[in-house]
Amino acid sequence: MPALAAVRIMSSAGGPVVSYLEFFSKVRNSGELVAIDGPCLSACTLVLSTIQRNRICDTSRAVLDFHAPIVADQYGRNITLTR
């Protein structure tokens, strides 16, 4: 049975963090429910820190994939951070 929600994440490979933060901010302000019903990878997982818990559900098809943060310079080149 498909998840019923105003926003349904069926397959998101991620992308620019700013884009996801802007989108999820709009969803948060709208009061809509979010269903994770497939892969939610990389920046998509920001849904967990942006939308209230009681407005997110997941199905048996949900997959959350996290990785270490990537830092880029103004040209988009990866920067290795050292301590």
Question: What's the rounded Cα separation, in Å, for the pair 6 and 28?
Answer: 11
Res 26: pLDDT: 95
With 80 as the cut, is the pLDDT of residue 83 above it?
no
| Amino acid present at 2 | P
CA proximity to 34, closest of 42, 75, 43, 44: 44
For residues 53-63, average pLDDT: 96
User: Does residue 40 sit in helix, strand or coil?
Assistant: strand
Asked if 1 and 29 count as a contact pair (C-beta separation under 8 A), the reply is: no
What global pTM score does this model have? 0.78
